[in-house]
Amino acid sequence: MNLKKELPILAIVLLPFIYLGYVWNELPSKVPMHWNIKGEIDRYGDKSELIIIPFLLPLLVYLIFLVVPKIDPKNKLNKMGGKLQAIKFLLTTLMSILALFIIYTAKNQSFTNPNYIVIIIGVLFIVIGNYFKTIKPNYFIGIRTPWTLENETVWKKTHKLGGKMWFIGGILIVILSLILNKSLSFTIFMIITGVITIIPIAYSYLIYRNEVQ
């Protein structure tokens, strides 16, 4: 591990931990832990539950990207070089922002617009889609179906299509979340997520059938 390259990412991972520690004494004993799609609080929990947020979001994502290339049987991820590092940086940053936002809303006990979470996820889709075509065949990251893992051509074609769909889908999610009401925005988000997930999987099967014939 190149510590010089990792330090900026580690700093980003630590931000939610630092912020949580900073506001800890200001937090009430019971804080909102869940909101419905209308932005209304529907569950409270002990403030200690917030501790898990930085662990599950930026830290877990960072550790996955740290460990997976080392156990990749074909060592394809390491061959991505700077692109893998860029993906790790961007995804860890987005998870850190999400963790900060969750802690902030819990502290202020207000979540006036659930669309903010949807927008962050939309940006995540854009980032992933932008890098899909650069991901080498592997068992951990990408559209891993039996057909993409079996055939490198199927992997490339599937990720080319998937990358375009996730990128466009992410843009649509962000734009529509800014102009639609909360309930409709969430419905559209679920539909787009389903489409950009299911179609590349089905496409990988169809491409594989054509390739093996």
Confidence check: pLDDT of 100 > 70: yes
Task: Note the pLDDT tens digit of each residue in 159-212.
Answer: 999 999 999 999 999 999 999 887 788 899 999 999 999 999 999 999 999 987
Angle between helices 82-108 and 60-71 (to 10 degrees): 160
Q: Give the predicted TM-score (pTM) of the model.
A: 0.86
Integer distance in angstroms from the first to the last C-alpha of the chain? 44
Q: What is the mean pLDDT of residues 39-64?
A: 89
Pairwise CA distance, residues 119 & 98, whole Å: 10
Q: What is the pLDDT of residue 43?
A: 79
Q: How many Å apart are CA 8 and CA 19, to the nearest integer? A: 17
C-alpha 148 chain-centroid distance = 21
For residues 158 and 207, what is the distance between their CA atoms, to the nearest angstrom? 8
Helix (H, G, I), strand (E, B) or coil at 36: coil
| Average pLDDT of span 115-127 | 91
133-163 confidence digits (pLDDT tens):
999 899 999 999 999 999 999 999 999 999 9
CA angle 25, 29, 35 (to 5 degrees): 110
pLDDT grade for 39, boundaries at 50, 70 and 90: low
- Asked whether residue 88 carries a pLDDT value surpassing 70, the answer given is yes
Alpha helix (H) residue ranges in 30-143: 52-54, 60-71, 82-108, 115-132
- Per DSSP, which regions of the chain are E strands? 30-35, 41-46
Measure the CA angle with vertex 123, ends 147 and 95; round to 5°. 90
* Interatomic CA distance for residues 177 and 189, integer angstroms: 8
pLDDT at 74: 82
Taking the domains of the chain in order of start, what are their residue ranges? 1-112, 117-213
- How many angstroms separate the most distant Cα atoms in the chain? 65
Amino acid 32: pLDDT: 77
Q: How far apart are CA 202 and CA 142, in angstroms?
A: 15
